Amino acid sequence: MGIRRLRRLTPILSGICPLDSTYSVARPRWLDKRCWQIMPQPFRAVIFDLDGVLADSEPRWTEIDKKLLAEYGVSYHDEYHRNVLGVSYRLAVEFYKKTFGLSVPTEELMRRRGEIAAEFFASRIGLFPSTRAVIKELRQMNLHLAVATSSVSASARPFLDRHGLTTFFEVILTGEEIERGKPAPDIYLRTAEKLGVPTNECLVIEDALSGIAAGKDAGMRVAAIPDTRFVDAREYEKQADYLLRDLSEIPPLVRHVAAVN
């Protein structure tokens, strides 16, 4: 999964120092001593995207949208997924309407997409390995945890319940609760407000460029876990503050940032 499928770009933890544009294969850039002198505040909160971060759902979204569009006589191709990866339901269905010239009302498409997604999340989508262990470890580190997802409540909340994760999160914010979805920063700003944590003390975990943009525009630091089944991880190096292979690297990152402060 993730960067492990690529040529090894950096040692185990491959975070990007926000103010260091040079590249070193000898050690992670976020371990560069030049970064230590300017390292921001330690993290007090970790905010997770759901799809492609906690839930191994991205392969299923191609099936969800294929089923959705088939109901309106449209043939779906997997390459369309890159255009809707991580964005709000509204932006996704508006892309499909424009691409295929559909005259169906946006609200109808959003409703039907949510219904199909709820069916998939109920039985066909699982967690990434180490998800539960990482969440427990972060809670033991006294961090505030939240989920901020473009998915609707009808699919996201039952999924978290089914996997016994709901109680670990102080805030769960879903797509229909926000007027402007990702890549707008609204969902992350609202989540930080609900947590009562300043945005510069929040770490966002994302797998999509649209989500990274949302987190950065909210004034947060963002760790990206690109899923190389769908994206080129190198596209993320210029956008994210940290580039990780999987969830298991989050606790060491949090500890490192705290230690250098």
**Integer Cα distance of 6 and 179 in angstroms:** 37
Backbone angles phi, psi at 8, to 5 degrees: -60, 110
Q: How are strands ordered across the β-sheet holding 14-15? A: 14-15, 242-243, 221-224, 202-206, 45-48, 144-148, 171-173
**Integer Cα distance of 184 and 199 in angstroms:** 15
| C-alpha neighbours within 13 Å on the C-beta side of residue 214 | 32
Q: Which DSSP state fits 27?
A: S
Helical segments of the chain, H only: 33-36, 58-70, 81-84, 89-100, 106-123, 131-140, 153-162, 186-195, 209-217, 250-260
Query: Cβ distance 36 to 260 under 8 Å?
Result: yes
Q: Which DSSP state fits 18?
A: T
Count CB atoms within 10 A of the CB of residue 124. 12
Backbone angles phi, psi at 74, to 5 degrees: -110, 135
Name the residues annotated as catalytic. Answer: 49, 51
Close Cβ partners of 161 (under 8 Å, ≥ 6 residues apart): none
